[in-house]
Amino acid sequence: MSYEKKLMQMKNLVKKNLPKEEPEKEVPAIALPFYTEQWEKTGLKLIKNEKGFLFVKETFYEESHIHGNIGLYKLHEAMTFMQEKYPNHPLFLDPTIPFCFYDTETTGLKGTGVLIFLNGLLKKVENGFLLTQYVLAEPGQEAAFLMASEFWKTSQSIITYNGKSFDFPQLVSRWTMNRNSIPPLKEHKQIDLMHSSKRIWKGDLERFKLKQLEEMKLGFVRQNDIPGHLAPIIYFDAVRHGDPTNLMKVLKHNEWDILSLVTLYILSVELLKEDKVVESSIAYTNIGKWFRDLKSMDASFDWFQFVIDQFAEQEVSLAYYYIGIHLKRKHLYDESLKAFHTSLTEIVGKYRIEVYIELAKLYEHQKKEYEMALEMTQECADYLAKNPNGISERQQLRLTRDFQNRIKRITRKLNISRESAQPNKKRAKHP
């Protein structure tokens, strides 16, 4: 008997007495876990592939399914709207590329020893949606588990919550660890709904845990949910003792996560429609800033105008600031000055300083009204001295230095302007 066969025998991978007629390269049957039947009774299905085996649970949802207060049927409308209106926006889903909503459960938060033990993927199918949850049968079956996800077959758009920072890097890490056993991982486009949620609700929400968004925005409250930090303990306990009762609760936790991804995507897109007011002025101003950062200046201007038109004066000062910036770039200096001055009625903090600076620049460079430029600069310096909160010491020093230089420059220009005006006055008195 060869040395290789002895090793395989020790690992219980082959029987001691191989039939002589059996081909030498045939892969022997792998012993299934003792809990296979017990897990299958709870709704998990044993699946085998060329790399081993895993468990799978499939759940079908009709398009009429409601999660929280949002119906899944609205996803098609949301996708169509983005394709027609904002094809360059981060929430755009390319209709030529498959997509899925994706969430993982892992045995830890970081480190090469951390495993993904649950891959949850929801995809659009005929007449509804199919959630497929792949469960790692045991740590030694990781290659089979990863292979089943089919992330190696075709590129797709993957929608996650904090997936860019956690889920997908973890997937890449595990794929790398198994690179000699499975095909290479494809390149995938990622849409991280944590990023878009912060874009929309920054300043409106204190925390951005998915659970808080569910309760505050999606109308969904979890009942008897398993805390995420207990998932690793539950998984290892299920593998060790065989009882899948609590493991099924982890699958339910994962299911809720993924359904919330769908409805959060729908809600986020609906807020971009600009058809009715359902959020605060802060949220809509944030949307305007989002488009501005995307260099979509016309869309950004429309959103700031929407805020001004829909909300009370004390809620729109920041929108007026951005309107002023937009008008200045259009060389509409008088309109820009008016917008900046309007924003000063309520705006505070670093944005008030920015407004003063913009006004000083306009009066100095475009309007040549040096007295007003000097006044705005001095008011800004006084405000910074009295309200330094939120501005780092380094920024304060830089701003103070800039103000001093600006005051010197404007004062010099003002003196020159006054001197050049004197002879004209004298000639007017003595023609």
Q: What residues pair up with 190 in beta bridges, in sequence order?
A: 158
Residues 227 and 300 in one domain: no
Q: Tell me, what CATH number does 394's domain have?
A: 1.25.40.10
Residues 291 and 412 in one domain: yes
- Structure tokens belonging to residue 16: 């001691």
| 52 inside domain | yes
Residues 9 and 51 in one domain: no
Residue recorded with tokens 């959103």: 303
pLDDT (tens, 9 = 90+) of the chain, 431 residues, equals 443 444 344 444 334 444 444 444 444 467 899 999 999 999 999 999 999 999 999 999 999 999 999 999 999 999 999 999 999 999 999 999 999 999 999 998 877 789 999 999 999 999 999 999 999 999 999 999 999 998 999 999 999 999 999 999 999 999 999 999 999 999 999 999 999 999 999 999 999 999 999 999 999 999 999 998 999 999 999 999 999 999 999 999 999 999 999 999 999 999 999 778 999 999 999 999 999 999 999 999 999 999 999 999 889 999 999 999 999 999 999 999 999 999 999 999 999 999 999 999 999 999 999 999 999 999 999 999 998 888 899 999 999 999 999 999 999 999 998 888 776 555 545 44
- Residue that is last in its domain, among 250, 270, 290: 270
| pTM above threshold 0.95 | no
Residues 244 and 212 in one domain: yes
Give the pLDDT confidence score for residue 13 in this predicted structure. Answer: 38
Residues 423 and 290 in one domain: yes
**CA neighbor of 250 nearest in space, from 62, 116, 430, 356:** 116
Residues 25 and 42 in one domain: no
| 275 inside domain | no
Dihedral over Cα of 14, 16, 19, 23: its sign? positive
Residues 206 and 73 in one domain: yes
Domain with 26, as residue range(s), is 1-31
| 317 inside domain | yes
| 211 inside domain | yes
Evaluate whether 149 touches 134 at the Cβ level (below 8 Å): yes
Give the pLDDT confidence score for residue 16 in this predicted structure. Answer: 44
Residues 344 and 373 in one domain: yes
| 264 inside domain | yes
- Residue that is last in its domain, among 270, 300, 317: 270
| 276 inside domain | no
Query: What is the tally of structural domains in the chain?
Result: 3
Give the pLDDT confidence score for residue 328 in this predicted structure. Answer: 96
- Residue that is last in its domain, among 270, 303, 334: 270
Residues 218 and 358 in one domain: no
Residues 27 and 37 in one domain: no
Residues 288 and 389 in one domain: yes
Q: Tell me, what CATH number does 215's domain have?
A: 3.30.420.10
Residues 135 and 67 in one domain: yes
